[in-house]
Chain A
Amino acid sequence: MATNILNRNDYAEGTAAKHFFFSSIVMLNIGVFLALLTSMRLAWPDVFPNDIPWLHFGRIRPVHVHFVIFGWISMAFAGAMCYMAPALCKTKLWSEKLGVWNCWAWNIGMVAVFFTLINGMTSGREYQDLIWPLDIYVLLFIFAPLAVNIWLTMLNRQTQGLYVTMWFFGAALLFIILSYFIGAVPDLFPVTGLAEAYMTWWHAHNILGLWITPVSAAIAYYIIPKISGNTLYSHKIGHLHFWSIAAFYSTPGAHHLMGAPIPEWLKSFASVSGVLIMIPALAFVVNMLMTMKDKWWMYAKNIPLQWALTGVLFAIPLNIQGAFQQTRSLNWYIHGTHWIVAHAHLALLGFSSFIEIGAIYYGLPKLLKRELYSERLARLHFWMMAIGFLGFWSVLTAAGLVQGAAKVYEIPYIQSVIATHPYMVGRVIFGGMIIFAQPIFLYNMWMTAKYGKKIAPEPTGGRAPAGATA
């Protein structure tokens, strides 16, 4: 019986989450290191030997994107799911063994992603760059086992209702599997022209809107009330957030194609639903900030809370930008410029990564039953990343506005390249701060696992009560 093999309790509770969290930190380090190479290429084009194709910008860029999205962020999500789902359902993870296999299959998949993309084996479709055998691998060995594990944990729950976090976990896993499959259709079947372009970008935006945004929010819904000790401000607003994400965030893919010859009504549709993402965004931010009522002193004191709340605060500019960038007037000014790169990093590095790092600082020591090795290193990590990110975002936004102006005033293209060069150097410097902060994170977590002071498990901590699973 497959169920028996998977369910045989060979692994201690939390093993899968530990595997995922450590893998995600390693992926983060690889992903940001690749970013350093690409940003140096943009500042000094001949900085690396041009005879080595692996070191070319066009080869590294997709690897960077896939490592941060599917390596770092998605694996941190998997870790958070394997940690939070049992706690919120007051049961064990359905199968720790499946979780651990899932994690190794994921890591092997990322190795394959690295070697195919760096060798130029790609589908040539942004955010869906993988070749078709890997598309199938990602669906069958990465997302499907994770979904099975989390869904069955939800079904085995010992609680009557489900907390907000669990709605998002359950739904986002369904979203990502459907979206990933539809995104892969043009790799597997003869879909061409504008239909291919639209499917590519529909999926590209759904990775952000139906996977990264809701799961990041779900993690914040768990750790912010948990650490602050307050109950969630409003479950009703949580409902509003959840349903408005499903309604408005599954359709704005066409805003990536505002300049393309797709039907005009489709662009208008994307614009309108795009601006309406303000509803889930505001619902989320308000809910989180109100949950902090009377506990704001903890923002400066508590490390995981500092990360998670900073991520929530980044969601404010992120969603204001995101909503209004989808209107045609703003879109034609900034489309394709560095502004968009800044915005994408605000979403993935600012909002999402800060929340996940908070989740790891909160969850991993608890899973290891040890205290964090060094608070000072954690603070250094935070400030290097916060200052580095704000600088990085500012220079790229400025560079994007320069490019937009050059476009509008019909200045020869090369002039905009020369004008944005100082910003590209700034990008390397501030980006470097972010990049060199990550080995500190890995070191701190490794030392926590090896030498952190042991703590007795809390009687009413994050894990399930002893009696719940008999």
Chain B
Amino acid sequence: MPKYVVGAVLVVLVIFTSIAITIVGGSTYMNEIPRTELAIEKEKLLGHSAWTIHDPWMRGDDTPSLAGKGKKIFIREGCWWCHTLLPEQTQDWAYFGEPPVAGDVQGEAPSLFGSDRKAPDLLHIASRNRVKAWHYVHHRDPRAVTPGSIMPAFTHLTDHELDAIIAYLDTLK
């Protein structure tokens, strides 16, 4: 057999071993973990809670709840590029709340952990702040309630869209 065929076969084997590790690693224990509020609601409507082919338009019209629509807007506006949904397993706990567990994202896609935190983690925001009026003002004029904040003011969102985002934040306990 030519050497490059042996090489190609080895490369493919390495890749597929890696994929097998991915699948086994990612799906271990999955069935025993309860799903999130949003996932359960979406599953009632669609039969499954994952990404659907209608999603790309990001209007959130296919989601059954206001909070579901809020998550779409959270993704569409790129909130998650600064606000992670993954507190560090370190001293952060004191500030951002409990460490994450699989149940926080079970049944949801995308998981929105984020990687580039330039703003407070929001996984447990509803445990810290459920004041709707505060969130309204914060989105319209962040520096009015948080001096020194570098969050842009989201003046282009409609009131209804803000309602949806705040409903979503309220599910993050």
Contact = CB atoms under 8 A, between A and B. Distances in A.
Contact of B152 (A50, A162, A175, A337): A50
Contact of A58 (B12, B78, B146): B78
Nearest to A338: B118
Contact of A124 (B10, B48, B110, B142): B110
Interface string B132-172: 00000000001100111111111110000000000000000
Contact of A193 (B8, B19, B79, B105): B105
A344 to B, nearest CB: 9
A259 B148 contact: no
B160 to A, nearest CB: 16
A191 interface: yes
A263 B24 CA distance: 10
Interface string A92-110: 0000000000000000000
A408 B115 contact: no
Contacts of A269: 21, 25
A33 interface: no
A455 interface: no
Contacts of B142: 45
B106 A192 contact: yes
Given A50-B156, A259-B100, A182 B19 contact: yes
Most A CB atoms within 10 A — which of B33, B50, B146?
B50
B45 interface: no
A197 B111 contact: yes
Interface string B4-24: 100110111011001101110
A300 interface: no
Contacts of B147: 414
Contact of A417 (B79, B112, B150): B150
| Size category of the binding interface on chain B | 35 or more
Contacts of B86: 259-260, 336
Contacts, number: 236
B87 A198 contact: no
Nearest to A187: B51
A116 interface: yes
B88 interface: yes
Contacts of A182: 19, 22
Contacts of B111: 192-194, 196-197, 200
A274 B172 CA distance: 33
Interface stretch (A16-24, A126-134, A139-147): A126-134
A257 B113 contact: yes
Contacts of B106: 192-194
Q: Lowest 6 A-B CB distances belong to which pairs? A: A58-B78, A131-B56, A190-B50, A120-B76, A195-B26, A336-B117
Given A186-B50, A196-B111, A335-B88, 12 more contacts: A41-B152, A42-B150, A45-B142, A57-B78, A121-B76, A193-B108, A196-B50, A257-B113, A260-B100, A332-B90, A336-B114, A410-B91
Interface of A: 41-43, 45-46, 50-53, 56-59, 61-62, 116, 120-126, 131-133, 162, 167, 170-171, 174-175, 178-179, 182, 186-187, 189-200, 202, 246-247, 250-251, 253-254, 256-263, 265-266, 269, 332, 335-338, 340-341, 403, 407-410, 412-414, 417-418, 421, 424
18 contacts: A45-B152, A50-B155, A59-B78, A162-B4, A179-B15, A182-B22, A193-B111, A194-B102, A198-B26, A200-B110, A202-B18, A254-B25, A256-B115, A257-B113, A261-B104, A262-B25, A266-B21, A332-B90
